[in-house]
Structure 1
């Protein structure tokens, strides 16, 4: 009986040391899971915004209208997805608008969003990360351009 009691006393402090060592590692692991989840959701939201921007731009008639429609559509989609971007950039390639009627063309929209990560407080993780998506949408071949 005395031998068992002595062993328990000798090993009693090792549990505290294990907890002190493993707790920060576990918290770091949980924080990395949060960061990966945030980046995955951000990527999906930016892809949806790029899809909406390309589609909105493809149904417009002029370069200016296409850029305005794409920017508005992307901003609305990102807002609806509850994605808080530090900065957002929407660029539209409307080179196909100058192609003559009867020729296939497409509009390309690229949406970039700078996602904040500073609130996670992970060592070695930048304060923000940029997520970008590019989507092409066809222009009606026989519509007036």
Structure 2
């Protein structure tokens, strides 16, 4: 009985296994980047909402929220572009003593073009929203 020659089988295994492993690693990096970016956006939105809730009026709240959220994103160095901060200050119109909150939504475009993983878009818009209660008895 003749034994089969196994020369070249390692090359075939590598040709099949290496791309699959590279795809797996790319998907792990994709998941890590999106999770890290979402967490950073949540932190930025929370910072913006907290800053806005301490303001005395709606105009100041919008300015404070934007400044805090943009500073938070730049400090975290997550590589987002087209950062947009939306502040809902409708509850600032309520009478003193009536509970209200301010809501901040932070969104940005995350660049994923360097991953080169099939099915992964070149960029992805991500967003997070947080709210904070307005001081019911704030001074106006």
Same fold (TM over 0.5): yes
CA offsets, 1:43-67, max 9 Å, x none?
1000000000000111112222111
Q: Does 1:100 align with 2:95?
A: yes
- In the superposition, the TM-score normalised over structure 1's length comes to 0.91
* Gap runs ≥5 in structure 2: none
Runs in 1 of length 4+ with deviation above 6 angstroms? none
Segments of structure 1 that go 5 or more residues without pairing to the other structure are none
Counterpart of 1:114 (choices 102, 105, 109) is 109
Q: Give the structure with the higher percent helix.
A: 1
Whole-angstrom distance in 2 between the partners of 1:37 and 1:69: 30
* Structure 1: distance between partners of 2:10 and 2:124: 39
SS in 2 for 1:52: helix
SS of 2:133's equivalent?
strand
Aligned counterpart for 2:46 among listed residues 20, 36, 51: 51
TM-score, normalised relative to structure 2: 0.94
For 1:25-64, what aligned pairs fall within 5 Å after superposition? 25-64=20-59
What is the Cα deviation at residue 26 of structure 1? 0.5
* Structure with greater Cα Rg: 1
Q: How does 1:1-145 map to 2 (within 5 A)?
A: 6-7=3-4, 10-145=5-140
* Contact 2:42 2:128 (C-alpha < 8 Å) held by counterparts: yes
- Worse overlay, 59-68 or 20-29: 59-68
Backbone CA RMSD of aligned residues: 1.4
Deviation at 1:25, TM superposition (A): 0.8
